[in-house]
């Protein structure tokens, strides 16, 4: 049976990524060697990481604008501390927007390094909205926000204009929608949503913001060292980077971010329309801040839970359970999830309505 | 043509690891889903990481001795700073043995955190031997050494007995030889030699040595947090961990470390005997400290280089060029390299002797 994979991440990737990456493990570039056993300094792998880095810059529309792309490891959680290490001056301060679990995780790490101003928080309503109308201290060393909140199903639709470096954790919606990416000075994202499998972290940096803190930064946490080493300061996570390249190539072939955005909007429109129409369900996030990537919703009558759960499982849907801090359901609809899978879920929701 | 892969790392892995991991990318555990698209919190993946962690402890003979195994990311280079962060007291000091490029990289990071005593160094002879007879300050917070020096082809045959925590970077010889691993308090190793593909780092920790520094440790650098989260503090590098599990399963089936040690000793004996017998060659490292993993050797007459290089390439040998800081050749003979591949190299060396 065809599976409809709504996993919040690691998540569905294009089928051709699975096929080509499996093939590369058996025989990479027809070399007679596995991708897993070649040197990361070999011509074949250097070509992979260089193409991946260039493709990121191209897809984000950042060519010729002073940005470098890095494929690091450690996950977005390691960036939580690399950001203050690289941007917060000794005795300086940073400004953060608190929109959920990951934003507050980033805030926690920043506090270890210095004064951390939380400009606004939606914690009062279990993060079901994006705060607006906050002011950002002009003397902060940078402003940090989280573009999409995987757990709570909210997404920033606008970003503040600031004169200080703008840093954004885009782990769960990078490459999903068109934005003016040149507004941002550092963008980072764990690969395991729209970019590839778990095991590598993308960091896109406007070089001019670095080197201003006066801190001694441990080598592995120093963006300047990683840039100088062309993202090969030490052995990089070879396979996750290769599978990410395949995913980026797939996206480019499809027409890039503008093309996938149309599909993502269609998927979101279809599912939110059903949530709003179907009297059995309600959305968790406030309407204006709803995420196109992670749709969080609840049954109005919890007694319907066992029957609904059995119905979607029977339809081949997996990964639909909500995060424990919100409950209910979460449909994660990353780039590679087809519209057809959303239709299957909507049909199950309608079938539940007829049944109960 | 069959390839004889002498790559220094990432390196040859068992053929069954390539086959089984490629299959898991297409259909994992017959679930209809790829290993790359499932949640790291799914039962199927939790079983993988738990088995891998247990197998490490079992293969090292550390069951019931207070150790925990973690699969982190960032590479051994990230451990260079995690070690002092977790073990060096505020205003404390650490002791290091300098046996090569990676040891000195670890020393450089430790110096950021506090007083770092280098108890001995073989830098005077381009690291071609392992210092002996040094003394370790009894009041250091820990002693750090590197068991095998990939670049220079030296290997520690004995380890000092100390009353302070003993920390060892075993990146390039873990699981290759029997040792009393319970002498060590922290062992770490990048996966990409004997354990799996690039992208995960093994850290084996005797829990009782943690929590004594008084430092505020950023979450992602804190071993106690990783242990508490059972090696899933954040999304782990799923594929590299799975391929590592397959490699550990292969080793166990083969008879564990004692069995592979016999094979590794046979390979090393075969190649070193030829280096010592053949008048065209000489070894780089002093005899008593020669590594069984990385055999470094030189042509006595550099004019033979082009002909020798053409001969081994023609025999299907790859990855034999030495590191730029030593020159000549480096035959990396990790666990998965068969004795047959070593015989092919020895035959080429003999053929060169007949030819010139």
Q: Which residues 172-201 of chain A have a CB within 8 Å of chain B?
A: 190, 192, 196-200
**Annotation says B185 is catalytic:** no
Rounded CA-CA distance A291/A281 in Å is 17
* A contact test, residue of B199, B250, B315 with most A CBs within 10 A: B199
- Whether residue A99 is found in the same domain as residue A199: yes
Q: Are residues B216 and B289 in the same domain?
A: no
Does the interface ipTM go beyond 0.85?
yes
Same domain, B220 and B342: no
Asked whether the beta carbons of residue A192 and residue B235 sit closer than 8 angstroms, the reply is yes
Weakest-pLDDT range from A121-130, A296-305, B1-10: B1-10
Confidence of residue B253 (pLDDT cuts 50, 70, 90): very high
A37 interfaces chain B, CB cutoff of 8 Å: yes
Contact B199 A73 (CB under 8 A): yes
Q: What is the mean pLDDT of residues A106-116?
A: 98
Statement to judge: residues B250 and B261 lie in one domain: no
Q: B272 lies in which domain range?
A: 257-355
pLDDT digits (tens, 9 = 90+) for B10-63: 999 999 999 999 999 999 999 999 999 999 999 999 999 999 999 999 999 999
Residue B39 within any structural domain of the chain: yes
Q: What does the block give as tokens for B300?
A: 């006595």
- Domain with residue B177: its CATH number is 3.40.640.10
pLDDT score of A52 more than 80: yes
Work out the minimum CA distance from B287 to partner chain A, whole angstroms: 28
Average pLDDT, chain B: 97
Which of A208, A238, A254 is a domain's end point?
A254
CB contact under 8 A, A36 and B18: yes
Residue B273 falls inside a structural domain: yes
Active site residue B102: yes
pLDDT band at B1 (very low <50, low <70, confident <90, very high): low
pLDDT 10s digits, B113-140: 999 999 999 999 999 999 999 999 999 9
* A10 within a domain of the structure (yes/no): no
| Residues of chain B with C-beta less than 8 angstroms from the C-beta of A10 | 36-40, 235, 238
Do the beta carbons of residue A65 and residue A263 sit within 8 Å? no
Classify residue A343: in a domain, yes or no: yes
In this complex, which of A10, A36, A77 lies closest to B36 when CB atoms are compared?
A10
Dump pLDDT digits (tens) for B191-204. Answer: 999 999 999 999 99
Show which of B212, B232, B254 is a domain's final residue.
B254
**Cβ <8 Å between B73 and A76:** no
> Does the residue B4 lie in any domain?
no
C-alpha–C-alpha distance, residues A350 and B4, integer Å: 60
CB B219 within 8 A of CB B233: yes
Contacts of B231 in chain A (CB under 8 A): none
Asked whether the predicted pLDDT for residue A270 surpasses 90, the reply is: yes
User: How many residue contacts between A and B have a Cβ separation below 8 Å?
Assistant: 184
Residue A59 contacts residue A248 (beta carbons within 8 Å)? yes
Edge-to-edge strands, sheet with A281-283: A281-283, A294-299, A329-332
Q: Tell me the average pLDDT across A171-197.
A: 98
Residue B2 pLDDT > 90, yes or no?
no
Same domain, yes or no, for B244 and B263? no
B249 annotated as belonging to a binding site for a ligand: no
Give yes or no for a contact between A90 and A105, defined as CB atoms under 8 angstroms apart: no
Residue at which a domain ends, from A222, A238, A254: A254
Same domain, B280 and B323: yes
| Co-location of A226 and A278 in the same domain | no
Place of tokens 């030296």: B154
The CA distance from A69 to the nearest CA of chain B, in Å, is: 17
Of residues B193, B222, B250, B267, which has the active-site annotation?
Answer: B193
The whole-angstrom separation of Cα B27 and Cα B34 is 5
* A1 located within any domain: no
Name the residue of chain A whose CA is nearest to B40's CA. A10
Number of domains, chain A? 2
What's the pLDDT score for residue A2? Answer: 77
Which of A68, A193, A206, A267 is catalytic? The answer is A193
Q: What is the DSSP string of A158-213?
A: -----SS-EEEE-TTTTTSS---GGG-SEEEEESTTTT-SSS-EEEEEEGGGSS-S
Q: Is A148 helix (H, G, I), strand (E, B) or coil?
A: strand
Whether B233 has its CB under 8 Å from any CB of chain A: the answer is yes
Cα–Cα distances (Å) from A266 to A101, A122, A229, A348, B95, in that order, read 27, 28, 41, 18, 60
Beta bridge partners of A168: A145, A187
Chain B CB within 8 Å of residue A126 CB: no
Q: Do A235 and B40 touch (CB under 8 A)?
A: no
Same domain? For A278 and A192 the reply is no
* pLDDT at A1 > cutoff 90: no
Q: How high is the pLDDT of residue A335?
A: 98
From the centroid of its chain, how far is CA B349?
27
Express each pLDDT in A308-346 by its tens digit.
Answer: 999 999 999 999 999 999 999 999 999 999 999 999 999
Residues in a beta bridge with B96: B118, B144
B198 with A34: Cβ contact below 8 A: no
Q: Give yes or no: residues B107 and B209 share one domain.
A: yes
SS (H, E, C) A122-172: CHHHCCCCCCCCCCCCCCCCCEEEECEECCCCEECCCCCCCCCCEEEECCC
Verify whether residue B355 is a known catalytic residue: no
| Residue A47 in this model has a pLDDT that exceeds 70 | yes
Q: Is residue B5 part of a domain?
A: no
Closest residue to B11, CB basis, from A13, A26, A37: A37
B350 has pLDDT over 70: yes
Give yes or no: residues A168 and A297 share one domain.
no
Percentage of the residues of chain A whose pLDDT score is greater than 90: 99
Mean pLDDT to the nearest integer, A188-215: 97
* Residues B350, B236 share a domain: no
How many C-beta atoms lie closer than 10 Å to residue A267's C-beta? 25
CATH of the domain at B266: 3.90.1150.10
Average pLDDT, chain A: 97
Domain membership of residue B95 (yes or no) is yes
Q: Which residues of B touch A114 (CB under 8 A)?
A: none
Phi-psi region of B127 (alpha: psi -120 to 50; beta: other; left: phi over 0): left
Q: Is A169 annotated as a binding residue?
A: yes
Residues A130 and A277 in one domain: no
Test the A interface: residue of B34, B236, B294 with most A CBs within 10 Å: B34
Is A81 touching B (CB cutoff 8 A)?
yes
């Amino acid at each position: 049976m065809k599976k409809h994979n709504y996993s919040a991440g690691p998540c569905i990737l294009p089928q051709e990524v699975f096929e080509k990456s499996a093939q590369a493990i058996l025989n990479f570039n027809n070399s007679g060697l596995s991708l897993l056993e070649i040197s990361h300094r070999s011509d074949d792998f250097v070509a992979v990481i260089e193409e991946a880095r260039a493709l990121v810059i191209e897809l984000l529309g950042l060519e010729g604008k002073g940005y470098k792309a890095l494929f690091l490891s450690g996950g977005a959680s390691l960036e939580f501390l690399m950001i203050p290490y690289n941007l917060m001056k000794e005795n300086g301060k940073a400004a953060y927007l608190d929109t959920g679990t990951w934003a507050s995780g980033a805030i926690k790490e920043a506090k270890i390094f210095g004064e951390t101003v939380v400009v606004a928080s939606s914690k009062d309503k279990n993060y079901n909205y994006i705060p607006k109308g906050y002011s950002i201290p002009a003397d902060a060393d940078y402003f940090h926000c989280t573009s999409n909140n995987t757990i709570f199903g909210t997404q920033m639709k606008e970003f503040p204009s600031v004169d200080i470096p703008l840093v954004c954790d885009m782990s769960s919606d990078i490459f999903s929608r068109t934005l003016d990416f040149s507004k941002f000075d550092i963008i980072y994202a764990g690969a395991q949503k729209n970019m590839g499998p778990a095991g590598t972290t993308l960091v896109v940096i406007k070089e001019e913001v670095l080197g201003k803190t006066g801190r001694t930064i441990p080598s592995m946490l120093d963006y300047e060292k990683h840039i100088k080493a062309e993202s090969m300061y030490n052995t990089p996570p070879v396979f996750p980077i290769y599978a990410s390249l395949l995913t980026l190539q797939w996206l480019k072939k499809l027409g890039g971010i503008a093309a996938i955005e149309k599909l993502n909007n269609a998927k979101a429109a279809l599912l939110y329309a059903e949530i709003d129409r179907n009297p059995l369900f309600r959305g968790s996030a406030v309407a204006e801040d709803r995420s196109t990537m992670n749709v969080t919703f609840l049954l109005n009558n919890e007694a319907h839970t066992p029957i609904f759960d059995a119905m979607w499982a029977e339809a081949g849907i997996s990964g639909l359970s909500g995060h424990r801090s919100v409950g209910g359901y979460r449909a994660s609809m990353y780039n590679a999830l087809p519209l057809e899978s959303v239709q299957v879920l909507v049909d199950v929701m309608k079938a539940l309505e007829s049944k109960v």
